[in-house]
Structures are given as C-alpha cells and as structure tokens.
Amino acid sequence: MQILDIRPSPPGSTTLARFDLQLNDHLRLYNLGLRQSGKGRCWTVAPNAFSERTAAFGEQFNRAISDMALAALMELPADEPSAA
C-alpha cells in the first residue's frame, strides 16, 4: 500500500489534502480527502459521485491510510503550492 500522489488543499479548509492511494497491484483509489476534525484527528473520505460517497473505510483501515497520507503531506517541501 502506498500514496501515489498528494496535493495540499488551500489554507483554512477542513480538507488538508487530496491524495491517490495504491492498495495493491490491482486497486488504486483516486482523489481521497484527508480531513481534520476539531479534535485534531485526521481521517480519510472518499470522493462523491452522484451526490453519494463512492467508498467507506473501516476505522482501523481509515486510521492507517490517514496516517500514511499525513506523513506524506508532512514530507512535502514547505514551498509546495496548495491546490487551487
């Protein structure tokens, strides 16, 4: 499992970044949102299609991918432009 790409969101949004995740050689998920709650905890949400979520993740799996995405976000250079 690996983060393929991560794109920071503009400042002030509850969505910290959008990212693409490769689960294995057969499955990739694109445009996942890394969000932060008021309590500081990060979690991942799937994008919407037809006004509905395209996927949902169990708590342990969500924590694992959210931690990976947050680590990848922190590794970006400080001058990395945020998404428009």
What digits encode the pLDDT tens for the residues 49-65? 999 989 999 999 999 99
Q: What's the pTM value of the predicted model, to 2 decimals?
A: 0.85
Cα distance between residue 17 and residue 1, in whole Å: 18
Question: What are the counts of helices (DSSP H) followed by strands (DSSP E) for the chain?
Answer: 1, 6
What string of pLDDT tens digits covers the 84 residues of the chain? 999 999 999 988 889 999 999 999 999 999 999 998 777 789 999 999 999 989 999 999 999 999 999 999 999 887 655 554
Range of the domain at 40: 2-75
Distances (CA, A) of 71 to 21, 42, 56, 66, 67: 13, 11, 21, 9, 6
Is 82 domain-assigned? no
Shortest CA distance to 16 belongs to which of 46, 39, 37, 2? 37
Is 81 domain-assigned? no
Is 16 domain-assigned? yes
Q: What is the CATH number of the domain that holds 27?
A: 3.30.1120
* Structural domains of the chain, count: 1
> Where do we find the tokens 């299609």?
49
